[in-house]
């Protein structure tokens, strides 16, 4: 059983940006708020099956309007070894409640699976997934999607590559759409270092015209994949993401960034975070994060820097 508990305090420039939009996506400026957070994650593997649960409470001060609670149970199976026949299955449910914005309370169920064969450095896999995100009080934001495809991965001593292509169908409140999705990524792992760079292309057709604005980030500023799930009248979108992680000995540094650009627009978004964790003892670490969420969608611009510092407790079993 592995457990991690984070208690953090910091500030965010636009805490209500995700919720304070009109249907056309106009964002009202909100005031910079102090934030406090408590995030707990637990997971356990029973051999092939594993279970996890994550809970988070984020509070904004002094008004607390966009404060939120999130609970995420998950489970999965790891079958076989990558050499030979293998499969992976994972399910997760996320329940999100935002205090002060009851209309965006939602439940999101997600399933991913892959099944494939590996020999030497090569892996050929069929991949699939489905999601259902229900906003019970705001059905215009609800969506469902299912995706299937194939991917080829290579894994050497240091270099890992992935090429994937697949199709996706999606259903919004009224109209359905379809997407062609491709992704390529490169990864490099050396002792105490892991780098990953990915590019994805989405060609979407059908669906409702993009008159209903969907937040490109989740309430804590991370890129929201749901914003890409609906075809929204059709678009071509390019996405670029990178992740760098290094164990510096006395500290662990993680840098992540993701940007996307659509041909219909302007529609440009960027999210970047830098996270530094330094152990204080076997069970306790201090960590800090600075992040930036930025978007330019239609006539609306938003720049939302945020950051926090806190303590991480990892009790040993």
Residues forming the site for another protein (CB under 8 A): 4, 6, 37, 39, 41, 45, 50, 52, 54, 72, 74, 76, 78, 81-82, 88-92, 94, 110-112, 114, 129, 157-158, 160, 187, 189-194, 196, 218, 220-222, 225, 243, 245, 247, 252, 254, 256, 273, 275, 277, 289, 291, 308, 312
Q: Least distance from C-beta 14 to another protein, angstroms?
A: 15
Q: Least distance from C-beta 88 to another protein, angstroms?
A: 5
Which residue reads 């991965």 in tokens?
Answer: 153
Q: Least distance from C-beta 79 to another protein, angstroms?
A: 9
Q: Tell me if 304 sits within 8 A of 9, measured CB to CB.
A: no
Q: Least distance from C-beta 230 to another protein, angstroms?
A: 18
> Residue 55: which of 4, 19, 106 has the closest Cα?
4
Handedness of CA 202, 208, 213, 218 (dihedral sign): negative
Q: Least distance from C-beta 264 to another protein, angstroms?
A: 24
**Given the complex with another protein, which of 56 and 204 has the nearer CB atom?**
56
**Given the complex with another protein, which of 218 and 304 has the nearer CB atom?**
218
User: How many angstroms separate the Cα of 274 from the Cα of each of 129, 141, 223?
Assistant: 29, 30, 15
CA–CA separation, 74 vs 110, rounded Å?
Answer: 9
User: What one-character DSSP code corresponds to residue 262?
Assistant: E
Q: Which helix (H) or strand (E) holds 74?
A: strand 68-79
Which residue reads 């008004």 in tokens?
Answer: 63
**Given the complex with another protein, which of 127 and 178 has the nearer CB atom?**
127
């Amino acid at each position: 059983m592995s457990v991690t508990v984070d208690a953090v305090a910091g500030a965010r420039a636009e805490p209500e940006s995700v919720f304070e939009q009109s249907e056309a996506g106009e964002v009202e400026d909100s005031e910079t708020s102090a934030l406090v957070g408590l995030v707990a994650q637990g997971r356990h593997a029973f051999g092939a099956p594993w279970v996890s649960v994550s809970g988070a409470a984020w509070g904004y001060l002094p008004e607390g309007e966009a404060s939120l609670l999130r609970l995420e149970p998950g489970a999965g199976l790891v079958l076989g070894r990558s050499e030979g026949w293998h499969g992976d299955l994972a399910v997760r449910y996320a329940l999100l409640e935002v205090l002060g914005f009851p209309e965006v309370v939602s439940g999101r169920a997600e399933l991913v699976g892959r099944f494939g064969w590996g020999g030497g450095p090569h892996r050929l896999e069929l991949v699939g997934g489905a999601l259902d995100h229900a906003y019970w009080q705001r059905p215009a934001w609800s969506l469902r999607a299912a995706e299937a495809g194939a991917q080829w991965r290579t894994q050497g001593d240091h270099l890992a590559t992935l090429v994937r292509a697949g199709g996706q169908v999606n259903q919004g409140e009224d109209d359905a759409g379809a997407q062609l999705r491709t992704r390529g990524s490169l990864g490099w792992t050396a002792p105490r270092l892991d780098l990953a760079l990915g590019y994805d292309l989405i060609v979407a057709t059908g669906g409702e015209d993009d008159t209903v604005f969907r937040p490109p980030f989740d309430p804590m500023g991370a890129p929201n994949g749901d914003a890409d799930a609906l075809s929204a009248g059709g678009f071509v979108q390019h996405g670029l993401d990178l992740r760098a992680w290094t164990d510096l000995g006395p500290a662990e540094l993680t840098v992540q960034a993701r940007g996307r650009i659509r041909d219909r627009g302007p529609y440009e978004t960027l999210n970047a975070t830098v996270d530094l964790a330094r152990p204080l003892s076997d069970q306790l670490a201090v960590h800090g994060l600075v992040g930036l969420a930025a978007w330019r969608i239609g006539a609306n611009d938003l720049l939302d820097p945020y950051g926090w510092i806190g303590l991480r407790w990892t009790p040993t079993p």
